Structure 1
Amino acid sequence: MTLTTGERNVGRSALVTGGNRGIGLAIARRLAAGGDSVTVTSRSGEPVEGVSVVPCDVRDVASVEAAFASVEKDQGPVEVLVANAGITSDRMFAALKDEVFTDVVDTNLTGAYRVAKRAVRGMMRARQGRMIFISSVVGLYGWPGQANYAASKAGLVGLARSLARELGPLGITANVVAPGLVDTDMAAVLSQEREAAILGTVPLGRKADADEVAAVVAFLAGPDAAYLTGAVIPVDGGLGMGH
């Protein structure tokens, strides 16, 4: 079903990777509230209240294939993909080991490539689809000790914009959301000093709520964003100033 401006989402099949908590869970619940059938992935596959969960390790092609097969059986081919799964493993650059760099990039960037490549099959057949990649202001702005994370998140921009150009003629959009500091478990590990230092550079002076990020994702997935592709939308309180 092709959505045009002003129409509601009606029962589309949506998949949110890494959607068992934080931003991903907020996105899943927002899409479900809008009428979509939503499944989230997590490595463990443990149940999450109010959403369907399928186990998936985005670092493994066979695991991705199995997850998509399960989703397709239960709710049809994926029409809305939110590539959100990600990890951090911060080190100052001089102490950054190859395996740590590779693990973060393999999860955050190559993992997004794997799920997008699997989702694109059904989208191309249907000649419609929405791909939304969850990047970070760090990928645009940089941050000390996060060269691996920043590289992986910056790569999502190039991936999404290439897909936007390649798949646009088929009615498939690809966009990026770049959150700043969000009130999630990932942010909770920051020391009070580091959080204060970051918030001191945020014009709005506070962390985002996960629902504020989810609202932007829902817009990109919805009918009012039908003519929007290749965009990078910061949800960062002004930290990156649109970089």
Structure 2
Amino acid sequence: MLITILGRSYDVDKYDVKSYIAFMDDLIENMHNPFIINLGGLPEYRLTSKLHHNEIYGVCDYIESFADGIEGFRNKMNHIATPDEEWNIWRNREYTSDYYVKYTLKPQIVDAAKVEFIKLRKQLQDIKDQFEAEKLKKETEKAERMKLYSIGQVYQHTNPKGGENGVDGFFDADIINNNSNESVRFIVKDIFDVGIIIFPKRFGGSEEAIDQSKWNEDEIKIRKWLYEYKVFERGIRM
């Protein structure tokens, strides 16, 4: 899902949005605390208590926007934050200039920024809720599909194992239509370097077995059901 956060575009999935929410919670809770800027290179700093896997990189730009119109990075920071003069003198005592500077955002800046950050946090939570609702919908729909059929008598069930010289998966069983109680015997194969092949037993090993134009409607539905049911233990075959 493509979303815009503080003027930047992010393509997020359900895992990203959880990370962004954790970042925002940390930011909102800790942005009033002191932070240190290294002026030896690019002036980078963070307002959270820890580094996050997914950070929202527009945060510092947004904070600095409260000093729009002021020239110079140090002048901007002095406008929106209060330097810790005593700490700065101690930390830079062996340097010819200030390389490390400790600041604390001014209370009015914290309050103003929090308004926007809390709104952003809610936006992210709404997206997370949307992902979870979609997941629940898919799980509910799958559960309903799984009720359509059931496994009857199993004649053979061999899970795939190993690679080229290993064992291919083979499943042979009656599949019962839970509405009509009629059953169809199906074969499922897991062939190395080929994949899953599913077909009605009545075709044996002929080429017609995988030609669904020869199948009836229920057999086509059973194939889809078996593919989703996953009769084999799945894993990488090597």
Higher strand share: 2
Q: Shorter chain as normaliser: what TM range?
A: under 0.3
Bigger relative contact order, structure 1 or 2 (CA pairs below 8 A, ≥6 apart) = 1
TM-score (norm. length: structure 2): 0.20
